[in-house]
Amino acid sequence: MSEAFETVHADVIVIGAGGAGLRSAIAAAQANPAAKVALISKVYPMRSHTVCAEGGAAGVVQAHDSLENHFNDTVSGGDWLCDQDVVDYFTHHATEEMVQLEHWGCPWSRKEDGSAAVRRFGGMKIERTWYAADKTGFHILHTLFQTSLQYPNIHRFDEFFCTDLIVDDGRCQGVIAIEIKTGDIKVFLGKAIVLATGGAGRVFRFNTNGAIVTGDGMSMAYRAGAVLRDMEFVQYHPTGLPGSGVLITEGCRGEGGILLNRHGYRYLQDYGLGPETPIGKPENKYMELGPRDKLSQAFWHEQRKGNTVPTPLGDAVMLDLTHLGEAKLLQRLPMICSLARHYVGIDPAKEPIPVRPAVHYTMGGIRTDIHTQTEIAGLYAAGECSSIGLHGANRLGSNSLAELLVFGKVAGEQAADHASRQPPCNNDTLLSFAKDKVAELTALREQKGTEKASRLRHEMAAAMEKAFGIYRLGDEMQTGLDTINELRARYKQVNVEDQSRVFNTEFLTTLELGSCLELAQVMATSALQRKESRGAHQRLDDYKTRDDEKYLRHTLMRYSPDGKPILDYEAVNITRSQPKERAYGAAGEQQNKQEGGS
Amino acid sequence: MTIPATDNTSETAPSKSEAGITLEILRYIPGTHSEPTFQRFEIPYVEDWSMLDALGYIKDELDSSLSYRWSCRMAVCGSCGMMFDGVPKLACETFLRDYYPRPIRVEPLENFGIERDLVIDQEPFLEKLESVKPYIIDAMANAPSGKPGAPAGHERETIQAGENRQTPKELALFDQYSMCINCLLCYSACPQFGLNPAFLGPAAISLAHRYNQDNRDQGNADRAPALNEEDGVWSCTFVGYCSEVCPKSVDPASAIQQEKVRGATDWALSWLLPKGAR
């Protein structure tokens, strides 16, 4: 029997209140001040994972830079799997979003003359990364959250955990949520829904992500009939702290930090990123300023060669910032200093920081068109949960904060516009649909099973790390997928021991695990089927190279009730940049010269 | 005894535990418990473990009903504030090794209502934050081509005119106060807030001060009523414990003192200057 629930009506419903969700809610509230915008989040907005972004947000601003440069860096960084119309829209609108944030009070770091400062970042030809010391995500999130407080038509529902989208007649018209504080179920009905629920890094064991990054929105959309795209592309950030995986920003290298192996050798020169640049004189797209996929892969090789440094928390390489001096470190990288001190007992002004790659970002997500519209009418997606086609096979650092602003705004405006053109919801049909879903939810909560969710979670994360890490092998991936499928079967027998209602985090983490397992299967299947190596998807079996003939295509995955995702592909939108060799360091320079580029 | 590594701890956590440590955690589940009581947990002692790792171990291995908020593990999301031996701290930045071998008492943040176990009711803080209007007011008037009182559609034009100038010196006037992660440790430390829950409190005042100090903002007068009323800055008796426990060195105590000075100056000026010139 289904339990009773309350219904909340809104025009636009935004799910997730991190950077993308808040930007979206503000855009919707501005576009139509008469519209009721419900902003639903499983945590208070300032706890959202955007808060952890450190290094910065990209937007062309210098006279000797150009939108074309940003376009080219993004497309080659993504190994040509980016939709180029989307990249163009993005580069054209990124800078105005940085300015907008500035007007809203974001404390961007400044140059002496008072203009905004930009720093170097990996894979970016010219410095264009706006930053607020090394807490850029924190400041963007708090600026957006605090700004959102002045819009009376944004109605926040903090600590409401969304479980299922309500789709009727081909239109998305609501969502079911648990009010965490009471355990009561609420049904939100609206005319347009924006998903801004973030990534799914917690599918993997060793990651830079917060506990909440469990792919709930991706899974909800997938189960409701939306398409997941390019899910095999999972980014390893080259510099996480050993043990915890806590992120050590790329901004460290942007400021001139260098990476050393156990012999004190700058090993990146052996991996197509050299020649070595002088210490204290970083050069864009050389050495430590190469893209994340290449740097993480170099670590893997160094580890195999026995060149990494064994530490009590596992193998590492050394990120040396000592030459930057204490004053600059405290000014530009204060949080890094504090994190290093607390979590590995190191003062970066005196000693190098041990680091190793950690899962950081899901390039793939819910497929949308350039207007953030998904397959389902009335459903939009923005930020890490979406796959709008910006990042391709490997995201460049500082493009994701810019993305959530640019496309968060688009999603909010699109949703507000869509909502204004919709007839009122047909309550009876929607509520009867909701009733069935609520009954499933109640059944799971009350189920007496035999499996422990925490156990399944550990096994999933370990299996994914083993089979779908920096390098992948066909037979290992098959074993990984088999394990995930077994875990999915065991999940059906999961037992929620805690039968109380108020703030029942065991039940919520069990639901999160369900989403993670759904996505793990999609990632694994997508990876196994992509028989080439591109960007963050690198194979060591028979498919070591990029195969544009067969795989210059996006992977699509559709949900099927029988538990086996349905695989398909679609063309990449290439407008003017034809695929070529990805080259960095001197090789990149050479390639530029041959093409007569600047 | 085998110690499975939790999601966020080292793969190299020792497989055999030589030593253990005791956590006494305040438990309260409405509808199940009639009142909060302490529950003892014996867990392995792992030198690298933060309190958050320890709580994760308990939740995964010993008692799945233990509830607490957490996310980032790196002291920036502000979720995991609690009391350790009576002192408010972030669980992710507090380590077993600093207490070992003594037992550790873990309680929810003081001065707040308990929703369950270590989870406190944060709603009162959100209301206080909102009441100080923590956003740039009248930014358009300051934007290069902006005009005071311009309608919302004007935004487009001001964006194209580019960013406001703000020198590093001007930034330094408020930067520190913008570092507040809303973790609420300062409210737990504040004896005044303990006595008077209506007190605006350290974090909300710091954030008001952050905007008041920002050269792009013209909202001082809009924030003055909340700051200067009885439960505003004047409730503070300058104990200063808020600044001591702040994990981000925001120094709310100094923000409050500066806002007191501003409030007193505005009051004095209100007698000296004709209306409208203030």
A160 interfaces chain B, CB cutoff of 8 Å: no
Place of tokens 């305040």: B26
pLDDT of residue B140: 55
Q: Going by DSSP bridges, is the β-strand pair A129-130/A118-119 parallel, antiparallel, or unpaired?
A: antiparallel
Cβ-based contacts of B181 with chain A (< 8 Å): 46, 51, 138
Question: Would you state the pLDDT for residue A505?
Answer: 98
Q: Does A237 touch chain B (CB under 8 A)?
A: no
> CB distance B73–A109 less than 8 Å?
no
- Token pair of A295 as six digits: 């740097």
Q: Say what the pLDDT of residue B270 is.
A: 77
Residues A539-576 have pLDDT tens digits of 999 999 999 999 999 999 999 999 999 999 999 999 99
- Closest chain B CA to residue A148: B135
Q: Cβ separation of A138 and B71 shorter than 8 Å?
A: no
Chain B residues whose CB is inside 8 A of the A150 CB are: 133, 135
Question: What is the rounded average pLDDT of the residues A529-546?
Answer: 98
User: What is the reported pLDDT for B152?
Assistant: 47
Question: Where do we find the tokens 């994340």?
Answer: A292
Measure the CA–CA gap between A505 and B71, rounded to whole angstroms.
Answer: 13
Tell me how far apart the alpha carbons of residues A25 and A33 are, in angstroms, rounded to a whole number: 11
Is A564 within 8 Å of chain B by CB? no
Mean of the per-residue pLDDT values of chain A: 96
Q: How far is B215 from chain A (nearest CA, A)?
A: 10
A110 and A117 Cβ atoms separated by less than 8 Å: yes
Domains of chain B (ranges; CATH) run 20-120 (3.10.20.30), 123-137+167-272 (1.10.1060.10)
| Chain A residue whose CA is closest to B80 | A47
pLDDT at A190 over 60: yes
Residue in A205, A242, A497 nearest the CB of B7? A205
Task: Express as a percent the part of chain A with pLDDT over 70.
Answer: 99
Q: Which of B53, B64, B209 to mutate to test the interface with A (most CBs of A within 10 A)?
A: B64
Q: Is the dihedral of CA A492, A494, A495, A496 positive or negative?
A: negative
Judged by CB atoms closer than 8 Å, whether chains meet at B211 and A205 is answered as: no
Of the partner residues A116, A138, A205, the one whose CB lies closest to the CB of residue B76:
A138
- What does the alpha-carbon distance between residue A485 and residue A191 come to, in Å, rounded to a whole number? 36
- Specify the pLDDT at position B145: 41
User: Cβ contacts of residue A408 below 8 Å, gap of 6+?
Assistant: A19, A20, A21, A22, A23, A24, A27, A196, A382, A383
Size of interface A-B (CB pairs under 8 A): 191
Cα distance between residue A163 and residue A176, in whole Å:
6
A497 contacts B136? CB cut-off 8 A: no
Cβ distance of A149 and B174 shorter than 8 Å: no
Contact between chains at B77 and A47 (C-beta distance less than 8 A): yes
Length of chain A: 598
What was the pLDDT predicted at B274? 66
| Structure tokens belonging to residue A462 | 């370990």
Residue from the list B7, B76, B134 with its beta carbon closest to the beta carbon of A51:
B76
Chain B contacts of A457, Cβ < 8 Å? 7
Amino acid at B121: D
The residue of chain B with its CA nearest to that of A32 is B152
Q: Say yes or no: A107 contacts chain B, CB-CB below 8 A.
A: yes
Q: Give the gap in angstroms from C-alpha A525 to the nearest C-alpha of chain B.
A: 23
Give the distance from residue B271's alpha carbon to the nearest chain A alpha carbon, in angstroms: 32
pLDDT value, residue A302: 98
Residues of chain B with pLDDT under 70: 1-17, 139-157, 274-278
Q: What is the pLDDT of residues A34-65, one digit of tens each?
A: 999 999 999 999 999 999 999 999 999 999 99
Query: pLDDT, tens digit, for every residue of A410-429?
Result: 999 999 999 999 988 778 88
pLDDT at A120 over 90: yes
Q: Residue B267's pLDDT is what? A: 79
- This complex has an ipTM of 0.96
Angle at CA of residue A329, ends A327 and A331, nearest 5°: 70
Of A292, A367, A445, A539, catalytic: A292
A105, A181, A497 ranked by CB distance to B216: nearest: A105
What whole-number distance in Å separates Cα of residue A265 and Cα of residue A273?
14
Question: Cα separations (Å) of A314 from A243, A293, A309, A310, A469?
Answer: 7, 20, 8, 6, 16
> Which residue segments constitute the domains of chain A, with CATH numbers given?
239-358 (3.90.700.10), 434-571 (1.20.58.100)
Contacts of A139 in chain B (CB under 8 A): 178
- A292 as an active site residue: the answer is yes
